[in-house]
Chains A and B, each alone.
Chain A
């Protein structure tokens, strides 16, 4: 595709449910980042993949959050036992290499936990 694609655009879920958020990076981009943006705030780093492996997952807030990228392309962010505080826009970015100076962002998935 022409850009980074994230699905769904919007997700409303009940507290305690499990959700999966998908990111399709730009074709050929080896680096992939997940960020979380709360209302009125800047993005907050969650995890960085180089290829299939998570090179840095230090931003994941707790063990309810997990992300995978099994074939080095599409990535899925998984949130277990969702809480109202998880409500935010989840942004994905990809770049041709590790330098975040070349990263392109998707439009984000707006997650609302009710």
Chain B
């Protein structure tokens, strides 16, 4: 079992829809929960991160962490075709500098 699991998709939704992307993790020592966006043939770009539990909002994006169920979510409101990309979740600990990544979910927003 991988430490961070993510459905690879693809997930296809119409423009304007609310998108829900999810990951599960197994290591209870994880404290950092990150979401990255990766366009084809580009490096990952950090969207937002959460430390420990709770919610964080940034514009159209909301990240949620539920440590009791080891579940990480990213919501995208008013989705745009430019949001089409692969979304990667990643987790890390306080004690080292290694991020453990999910496989990424390919998101397609249809105009």
Contact = CB atoms under 8 A, between A and B. Distances in A.
Does B bind A? yes
A103 B36 CA distance: 11
Interface residues of B, number: 24
Interface in A60-76: none
Contact of B44 (A43, A44, A55): A43
27 contacts: A31-B97, A33-B97, A40-B104, A41-B103, A42-B4, A42-B6, A42-B102, A42-B103, A45-B98, A45-B99, A55-B97, A56-B96, A56-B97, A56-B98, A58-B98, A93-B43, A100-B97, A100-B99, A101-B34, A103-B46, A104-B46, A105-B44, A107-B41, A107-B42, A107-B43, A108-B41, A110-B41
Interface string B1-23: 00010101000000000000000
Contacts of B90: 42-43
A92 B21 CA distance: 26
Given A42-B102, A100-B34, A107-B41, 12 more contacts: A40-B8, A40-B103, A42-B88, A45-B98, A56-B96, A58-B98, A100-B97, A101-B34, A101-B49, A105-B44, A108-B41, A108-B43
